[in-house]
Amino acid sequence: MPGKEKRYRVEALGRQHDRLGFSCGSDPLDQYLRTQAGQDARKRVAAPFVLCEGESHAVLGYYTLSAISVDIGAWPENVAKKLPRYPVVPATLMGRLAIDKRLQGQGAGEHLLMNALHRSLQASRQVAAVAVIVDAKDENAVAFYRHYEFVPFKDQPARMFLPMRIIEKLFA
């Protein structure tokens, strides 16, 4: 990210955060942050985390995490054969990841992704999850996640996952 001397922080979304100035170039992602993210947090259907700089509460990026169960038949065969034969297995869904246009292409996406993966790994030690799953919104997002070794599901190429054992190695 620009100006490595700047202090960036990632924290749970709260009322103090200024969401109105955020613009990532995707209206659905912008609107979600402005109108739905707080409600999702209060109802515990998603946990939004925001990127801020210094002491500012202006949101420069965000992601959401939630629990998901995935049908055993949805996983690629080489993965499914290593999983227990339960009808569904637990995972963590990173439902959204967005960076303000002012920071795009400067490493902020990687910073938020690594934060989300680390947070997911820590949570998996308390509440089991075999992988982090993302739903890539377009080909650019697919390429972004492929760069970090996310693997597509067999019948949904835009739905991708990174096994928790790989994430654990990232932070070993």
Task: Out of 32, 63, 145, 148, pick the active-site residue.
Answer: 145
Q: Is 148 a catalytic residue?
A: no
Closest Cα partner for 157 from 140, 132, 129, 135?
135
Single-letter code of the amino acid located at 11:
E
Tokens of 58: 């202006």
DSSP H or E stretch at residue 1: none
- Catalytic site positions: 145
